Structure 1
Amino acid sequence: MDPIRKKKIESEIIKTLSNLFVSGKVKDPRIGIVSLHRAELAEDLTKVKIWVTSYIEEKQKGKFLSALKNASGFFQKVIADELRLRNTPRIHFIWDENFIKSLKVNELIDSLSDQADKRESETSEEE
Structure 2
Amino acid sequence: MSHRTGRLAEEIKREVSSIIQMDMKDPRVGFVSITSVEVSGDLRHANIYISVMGNEQQGSDTLKALKKAQGYIRSELGKRIKLRHTPELNFKLDDSISHGVKVMKLLQEVKGEGERPANE
Pair in the same fold by TM > 0.5? yes
Q: Provide the rounded CA distance (Å) in 1 between the counterparts of 2:18 and 2:59.
A: 22
Deviation, 1:62, is 2.9
Matches within 5 A, 1:1-127: 3-22=2-21, 24-109=22-107, 115=112, 119=115
Q: Provide the rounded CA distance (Å) in 2 between the counterparts of 1:77 and 1:111.
A: 48
Kindly indicate which of the two structures has a greater share of residues assigned to helix. Answer: 1
Q: Deviations over 1:39-68 (max 9, x none)?
A: 111111111001111123223433221100
Normalised to the residue count of structure 1, the TM-score between the two structures is 0.78
- Secondary structure of 2:23's counterpart equals coil
Q: Provide the rounded CA distance (Å) in 2 between the counterparts of 1:107 and 1:36.
A: 24
Q: Deviations over 1:82-110 (max 9, x none)?
A: 11011001111111122321122234445
> In percent, how many aligned pairs have the same letter?
28
* Equivalent residues, number: 118
Normalised to the residue count of structure 2, the TM-score between the two structures is 0.82
Q: Provide the rounded CA distance (Å) in 2 between the counterparts of 1:107 and 1:11.
A: 32
- Max radius of gyration: which structure? 1
Q: Provide the rounded CA distance (Å) in 1 between the counterparts of 2:19 and 2:50.
A: 14
Structure 1: gaps of 5 or more residues = 123-127
Would the aligned equivalents of 1:18 and 1:36 in 2 still touch at CA under 8 Å? yes
Q: Provide the rounded CA distance (Å) in 1 between the counterparts of 2:91 and 2:43.
A: 16
- Secondary structure of 1:88's counterpart equals coil
Would the aligned equivalents of 2:52 and 2:58 in 1 still touch at CA under 8 Å? no
What is the Cα-based RMSD across aligned positions, in Å? 2.4
- Secondary structure of 2:84's counterpart equals coil
Structure 2: gaps of 5 or more residues = none
Would the aligned equivalents of 2:32 and 2:50 in 1 still touch at CA under 8 Å? yes
- Secondary structure of 2:35's counterpart equals strand
Q: Provide the rounded CA distance (Å) in 1 between the counterparts of 2:106 and 2:50.
A: 22
